[in-house]
Structure 1
């Protein structure tokens, strides 16, 4: 059963390999809790009460948070909808299961004043392949609002001939075109020249971001690069590629960009996912108000 479901996720839903892996892991974990495997799993015998017991066990005994639990529940929900559609079950045991309430958290982002210094440093020409690559990673995550998987997946031919725009493959293998700011374009051209002059890629690998051996860079390497660069520049709190994506969106919102334009640049399927950045803007307005408004200054 599970192999057929995985093929459905890959072929019909067109989920990324990472997403498919997470679905498989979540479902196998539920099967293990039921003390069975794919060969002995009988979806028709699963009850809603069992699912509720599993959720309680995972959250209370396993200690996982509401957001992680909701992801696992979502995996099961997708599985049982597929089973219902294919006729493997006669009713959906997941229908009565509600998602757990999660605390509302604003996306972390780097303040504009701090980001300006980081960008200025990244735009400098070092002449060293690894340094240029790492600086370009930070620049493109921030200037283009890319997800980690999107950045790692970029091929050199995804850039337009003049390197002024970039084709990005997002979630569900959906493509979007993203403009490349001129300073980032110049950095890309210098980096591509270094690859050519130093024979970094003589294996035919078409990825934009490469290791010194000419192989596509890994997600882990990108994550470590971002963490190191943000740490070195004194950024407090969470330091990850997604923080740079949040920073991109928040700075655009603060600069007056239209929300639907930001949605398109980020590749969000719905406007609701983009609306969270309005909260960051409101938080910033409150801060400005507290510092500058006469009533606040007078203590009234």
Structure 2
């Protein structure tokens, strides 16, 4: 059955590759969607007997249902990893993804907030100094001040903070660890938060009941708070990560250093921020050059 081979693969991701729960859920969703397509369109064809033609038909099916090319490519990437695994485990003889090419997508530049907009954040906590307000303030500045991902923020432990050295230990994708410097203002905010925190929990960021925060809570908070200072259509924790990287680059940070701070596996993922930086350079040129 398709569910058996999918569970076999998901267990491999969890135990051997130590992927995050979010990553495993993403793979499971893509594979279950493909299995459902095979059930409805190809008389429940087993995943181990799929050919390239069925995968192409699935791509057409996704496109006809208004799925963006970027999302189609991500689903194809899930299938590639899945069938490569089955080939290694001798569950299939040929990889049906070999002749399949990704579909063309538009390059989408990361959205970010301006430095003037981020300067408005300190005013949010001036009128109220209770635990919940400081925590919400800290969430925004941890995301902007360190560039960490949402999942990294949620899993952050108090023991990961080295106040003496002013650094933060972050556990990223595939349990890859990196050390991020903490700006002095953020370190002071963390100390203030810990002083006000009424709960004894190993997790740094907790809700009003002392439990670790969850993704939806953080997403709603960020959207609400940033909505007061920005008109961007999409306001999310990841936008603050983009903002962190863009502001570093605009202020002269080395691209390789930004790559390490973000925890990117390769420089290509970081180079997208050079496009945003070029817009800043054009703006400076227009203002400063006499012939601009």
Structure 1 segment 157-236 matched on structure 2, within 5 A: 157-162=159-164, 164-195=166-197, 199=198, 201-202=199-200, 205-236=201-232
Deviant stretches of 4+, over 4 Å: 122-125
What CA distance in whole angstroms lies between the structure 2 residues aligned with 1:67 and 1:59?
A: 11
Of 72, 75, 87, which residue of structure 2 is paired with 1:72? 75
Q: Cα 1:13–1:125, aligned 2, differ >3 Å: closer, same or farther? A: farther
Matched, 1:89 2:85: no
For 1:285 and 1:237, how far apart are their aligned partners in 2?
24
Q: What residue is the counterpart of 1:57 in the other structure?
A: 61
SS of corresponding position for 1:295: coil
Aligned mates of 2:230, 2:49 — CA distance in 1: 55
CA contact (8 A) 1:123 1:187 kept: no
Q: Which residue of 2 aligns with 1:155?
A: 157
Quote the offset at 1:127 in angstroms. Answer: 2.1
1:288 Cα deviation from its structure 2 partner = 2.2
1:238 to partner: Cα distance: 1.8
Aligned mates of 1:177, 1:253 — CA distance in 2: 19
Match of 1:42 among 35, 46, 53: 46
Structure 1 residue 110 corresponds to structure 2 residue 113: yes
Residues of 2 paired with 1:137 and 1:125: CA distance? 18
Q: CA deviation at 1:121?
A: 2.5
Find the counterpart in structure 2 of residue 293 from structure 1: 289
- Structure 2 unaligned residues grouped into runs of 5+: none
> What SS does the aligned partner of 1:232 have?
coil
Alignment partner, residue 277 of structure 2: 281
Aligned equivalents of 1:87, 1:295: Cα separation in 2: 66
Give the TM-score, by structure 1 length: 0.91
Cα gap change, 1:288/1:208 in structure 2, threshold over 3 Å: closer, same or farther? same
SS at match of 1:19: helix
TM-score for the superposition, normalised by structure 2: 0.93
C-alpha root-mean-square deviation of aligned residues, in Å? 1.6
Q: Which residue of 2 aligns with 1:100?
A: 103
Instruction: Name stretches of at least 5 consecutive residues in structure 1 with no aligned partner.
Output: none
Give the secondary structure class of the aligned counterpart of 2:29: helix
Number of aligned residues = 285
Aligned to 1:6: 10
